[in-house]
Each structure stands twice: as structure tokens, then as C-alpha cells.
Structure 1
Amino acid sequence: MGLFALFRRKPHERTGFALYTAAVATARSPFLFEGIGVPDTLDGRFDLINLHVALLVRRLRADPDPRGAALAQAVFDAMFADMDLNLREMGVSDMVVGKRVKRMWEAFHGRAIAYEEALDARDAAALAQALARNVWRGATPGTAPTASAEQLASIVLAQDRALAAQPFASLLAGKPAFLAETELPA
């Protein structure tokens, strides 16, 4: 490997960042915070970004095109590069950033598995429970906003269907079509 190989971009790096940026924009919809009651905190925002990125990664990994897995990895890499940068901008020291990013990765992975199991089964109740446990994590058992978690679960199921119906070419172009607020289930 020559010296220039160190500076070469990965094949799907730009597209991964474009897809990640679209997932973040969707996760920041005011409706999710004001209409459903997701806590507008660092944790609440992180959980919604995790959720939308997990949906996108799920869609990409499921595609029969062999580039799907590489593109899913590029989205994942973009997310954690952004998390690293955000922590540094918030003043977290270099010594601690790696540990925090590792905890974020573990949180993402655990949530993605819980959501994927419920999505695979098309089990809205299990998905709502996972969302209540993760998104409203400060709530004590039995007091999580059940109606809000159920509404978010129906939105997640709709977003999952919309992404599954999307042609791979639009994803490869970095243009996922997440449902707009007006298209979301009530």
C-alpha cells in the first residue's frame, strides 16, 4: 500500500454521510418532540438518531445488491465519526472520547437488535415496549408514556415499510425518502 492509499476516500463514504444526514434531519423533526413527547434532551435526540440510522442500516443490509452492506457500514461510520466530532465540540477530553463513543456504539447496537427483532416480527407492541424503555428511559416502570411509545412504534413501522419499498438506486445516490411529517400515521 502506497502513501496515497492513506488519503483515498472509501468508496461509499460520501453517500454514507448523505444518508446519515438525511436520517438526522428526519430524527430532528419537531413533531417527534412536540407531538409525541420524545424528551428534547441530548439522550432523546441521540435515541431518535439511533432509531432512524438503525432503520436505514436495516434497509441497506437487507438489499440483495452486494453494495448494500458496504453502504450500511458507511452510514454507521458516518454516524460515529459525527458522534466523535460532537463530543469533542462539547469539550469532552481526548482521553474520554473513545470510551464515550464505545458506550454509544454499544447503546446503538443493543437498541438496533431490539428494534430489528420487533420489526422482523411486525410486532407493534414489542416495538412500543422497546421504544418506551430506550427513548423514555428516565421514566420509572409503568409510567412510560404508553400512548406516545405506541404512536412512535406506528411511525417506525411506517418508516420501515417506506424504506423497504425504496429502490436501491435512490439510496445509492444518497437520497433516502423517509416519510414526511404529513405522511406519518396519526
Structure 2
Amino acid sequence: MILSLFRKTTAPEPVYAVYRAIVAQSRQPRFYADWAVPDTVTGRFDMISLHLALLFRRLRSENAGQKDFSQAVFDLFFKDMDRSLREMGAGDLAVPKKIQKMGNIFFGLLAALNEAMDRKDLSALEAVLCRNVFDGAEGPHILALAEYLLTEDARLATQSADTIVNGAIAFEAAA
């Protein structure tokens, strides 16, 4: 029993596959070059967060196994953020505080995004993105990102939850 505390736990391959697909989609150059998402650590975190939010929206009303899958992807995301912070030189004492702050930011974004997207309120979604991703800056790129999120939300709604949980998730192909 005590030895289990020292064992590394790893997520199943489907969790890694979906997380890799989310990260790959989040790295598309158009988000940064065409839609003015800041090409920074924070901007990359925001794009991964938006795509994770889409996954969580898709699986939120599903069965317990699919909710467990969502939790495993979430855990992997923050494990990856922890690793990234350490690689960037954050000290052992600073990492938990930064991860907690990132978690608060993520949950705030998720709640605001869900509220706007549940209502299919494009202007509310733009306001969420303006505030959370673009630090108050305005422009047509915000509308483009909002429309993209609504389109991807609809695309994911057509994908079987079982297929996603088995490691296959499809986003729009890179433009």
C-alpha cells in the first residue's frame, strides 16, 4: 500500500492521444499570426484552455466513465503545465502557486465560456475572449475566434463520446 505512493501514475494512451490533438490544434499558426492571439506562454495556455473547454463541454453530460476521462485529460494538462513551468526555471516553491493561479484562470474561463456558448450568444463570447485572451484589446480577430469556437463546439457535438474517449478527436483541419 505505501509503495503505491511512490509509483508514477500515467494516463492511458487515449488520454494522451486526445491531449496531443488538443495541443496540436492549439498551436496552429493562424491563431497567432491571423487572429492576434499573443504568441506567448500565456497565449499558448489560453489556446489550450479554449480547446480543453470544448472537450469538456462535449463530455459534460455523458456517463461517469467519460467524466473520468475528462478528469484524466485535465490532470494531464496541469501535469504538463507543471513540467513546463519547471523547465522555464520556476522553483519548487513557486510552481504550486502558479499552478493554482492557472487553475483559477482556467475555471473562470470555462465558466464564462460555457455561459456564453450555452446561450449561443456571439457578443457575450466575444466579450469573454476579449477579456480573457486578448487582455481587453479589440478587433475583428476576436469575432473570428468566437465563430471558430462555436463551429468547433458544433463539430465536437457530432462526434461520438465513445470515439473521443477511445482517443480520437477531430478538429477543423489547419487552414
Q: Same fold, TM exceeding 0.5?
A: yes
- Residues 1:177 and 2:170 are matched in the alignment: yes
TM-score by length of 1: 0.87
Corresponding letter in the other structure for 1:105: G
Aligned Cα RMSD in Å? 1.8
Structure 2 counterparts to residues 77-156 of structure 1, below 5 A: 77-137=75-135, 139=136, 144-156=137-149
Please give the per-residue CA displacement for 1:103-152, whole angstroms capped at 9, x wherever unaligned. Answer: 00000000000001011111111001100111111x4xxxx223111110
Corresponding letter in the other structure for 1:161: A
Tell me if structure 1 keeps the 8 A contact 2:15–2:167: yes
Aligned residues: 175
Seen in structure 2, the aligned counterparts of structure 1 residues 5 and 44 have a Cα distance that, compared at 3 Å, is: closer
Q: What is the CA–CA distance in structure 2 between the aligned matches of 1:171 and 1:156, rounded to whole Å?
A: 18
Q: What is the CA–CA distance in structure 1 between the aligned matches of 2:153 and 2:6, rounded to whole Å?
A: 36
2:70 equivalent in structure 1: 72
TM-score by length of 2: 0.92
Tell me if structure 2 keeps the 8 A contact 1:15–1:173: yes
Q: What is the CA–CA distance in structure 2 between the aligned matches of 1:124 and 1:24, rounded to whole Å?
A: 25
Shift of 1:9: 4.4
Please give the per-residue CA displacement for 1:53-96, whole angstroms capped at 9, x wherever unaligned. Answer: 11112212222x33111011011001000000000001100010
Unpaired runs of at least 5, structure 2: none
Corresponding letter in the other structure for 1:171: I
Higher relative contact order (CA 8 A, sep 6+): 2
Unpaired runs of at least 5, structure 1: none
Q: What is the CA–CA distance in structure 1 between the aligned matches of 2:174 and 2:125, rounded to whole Å?
A: 20
